Each structure stands twice: as C-alpha cells, then as structure tokens.
Amino acid sequence: MQVKTNVISKVRLHKHITIEDDKRVFVVGDLDGNFTKLKSELDKVDFNPQDDVLISLGDIIDRGNDSARLVEYMQEINANVVLGNHEHMMLEALMGRDSYAMRLWVQNGGKWHQTADFQTLVNMCKWFLQQQLAITVDYQGKKIGISHTLPPTWSWEHMPQNTEACVFPLMWDRERFNKKINKVNHGVDYSIHGHNSTPEPIWIGNSLHVDTVYYRNPSVIKLNDF
C-alpha cells in the first residue's frame, strides 16, 4: 500500500531556475530534522545567504527535533526546495487526514508533531504546498536536475504532465540506487538526489546521490566543483 496522493497532487511538479554564473550554489541532502548539523556544514563553506544559493533535496523534517526550525530557516534564506517522501507523509497525514500516512509517518520519525504548535504545523504544510517535486537549474553552462530521488529511466525534457504521476518516481523510488541501474537520465548534464542513505556521495551514471545524514552530517555539495 502506498501513501495516497490527494494532497501532494496539488503541489507544482517542476520549476526551472537560472542562476548567475558568479554565484556560489550549494545543494544539501536529507536533513532529518537536525538544524545543528546543517549549520555546521554551511559554516564550513562560509555560506552567506545574501550572496549564495542553497538548494534542498527534501526530507527536511522528521527524526530530529528541529523540523519546524529547519523549515523556518529555508524560508528565511529563500532556499530552493524539492519535497521528499517525509514531506509527502506529513501533508497526507495532516491535511489529507489519511490514517495510513499518519501511522507510517509516526513510525518513521514524525512523532515530533504530536507536541508541536498547531499553527506551526499549518504554516509548514502551507509552505510545502508552495514547493515542487523537481527543479532544473541552468548554471555555468550546464543543466542540472534536482529531485528527492530518481527512477532508473527518466527524461527531464519529457516528464509526465501531472504531479500525481511523478510522486512515486521522484519521492519514493529506490531502484536506481539499490540496483545501481542508470538506464536513461536525459535532458540534463547530471542530476542530484537524496533519499537513499550512503556513507559518501556516490555517482550512478550521471546521477549523484548524497543522502549521508544517517552516517554523518548532511552533504553540502558545491555546484561550482562540477
């Protein structure tokens, strides 16, 4: 049984952004509700939100104690954010009143919401609904795909035209990572993803997987390095 898509289907599927070549651009993997770990990594690269750009791969929330603070921070710095499966569970559990999503969410780190301020939860859900499942970035002569995860076959130029059809492949799928299969990843020079825990960032074809937070601090990837 999969989490329903009654609420997440209202989220924008994709947005395209162009970033000036002289900007520093950082992509951060799953955060799992830990603000201290994120700040530690951003401090290492002297991240300046007034000059630099941060892109989040989703799963900002859950497991740690700082879910609300992390969302607040992403809003403060005007980060570019794609949603992950944990945000999906939260939206369906709270806004969709889906009992299965609620049970799964609580079992996988969402219990923090039981002591959270009601209005804070409402504001978080409203903000998530303003985000997207995927971003393509034009930067320094390259096109980069950004999503929480990615199936073995994908085309950034010919994505399905509705969000619901992309929920499982872009928020939940693990086949590309688990089986190390890269059949097709067209329409970008490379793409970056979280969702699948790895001790170190790993390339599978032209897709980079950076969810290291289970093993250590989250990975902060500088796009200028590629």
Task: Give one DSSP letter per residue of 36-64, joined into a string.
Answer: HHHHHHHHHTT--TTT-EEEE-S--SSSS
Q: Examine the pLDDT at 199 and tell me if it is beyond 80.
A: yes
Beta bridge partners of 144: 137, 190
Beta bridge partners of 15: 135
Q: Examine the pLDDT at 93 and tell me if it is beyond 70.
A: yes
Q: For the chain, what is the mean pLDDT?
A: 97
CB proximity list for 218: less than 8 A, separation 6 or greater: 28, 29, 30, 31, 32, 34, 37, 38, 41, 211, 212
End-to-end CA distance of the chain: 39
Q: Which CATH number is 8-225 given?
A: 3.60.21.10
Could you tell me if 136 and 145 are in contact, meaning their C-beta atoms sit under 8 angstroms apart? yes
What integer is the mean pLDDT of 151-164? 96
CB proximity list for 208: less than 8 A, separation 6 or greater: 190, 191, 192, 193, 201, 202, 221
Helix (H, G, I), strand (E, B) or coil at 162: coil
CA angle 114, 172, 161 (to 5 degrees): 115
Q: Examine the pLDDT at 120 and tell me if it is beyond 70.
A: yes
Per-residue confidence band for 224, with pLDDT thresholds at 50, 70 and 90? confident
What integer is the mean pLDDT of 48-75? 97
Per-residue confidence band for 1, with pLDDT thresholds at 50, 70 and 90? low
CA angle 83, 161, 177 (to 5 degrees): 50
Closest CA to 86 of 56, 106, 114, 66: 106
Helix (H, G, I), strand (E, B) or coil at 175: helix
What integer is the mean pLDDT of 121-125? 98
What integer is the mean pLDDT of 165-192? 98
Q: Examine the pLDDT at 85 and tell me if it is beyond 90.
A: yes
pLDDT for residue 225: 77
Could you tell me if 110 and 84 are in contact, meaning their C-beta atoms sit under 8 angstroms apart? no
Q: Examine the pLDDT at 211 and tell me if it is beyond 90.
A: yes
Residue ranges of the alpha helices (H) in the chain? Answer: 35-44, 67-76, 85-94, 99-107, 118-128, 167-171, 175-179
Could you tell me if 108 and 86 are in contact, meaning their C-beta atoms sit under 8 angstroms apart? yes
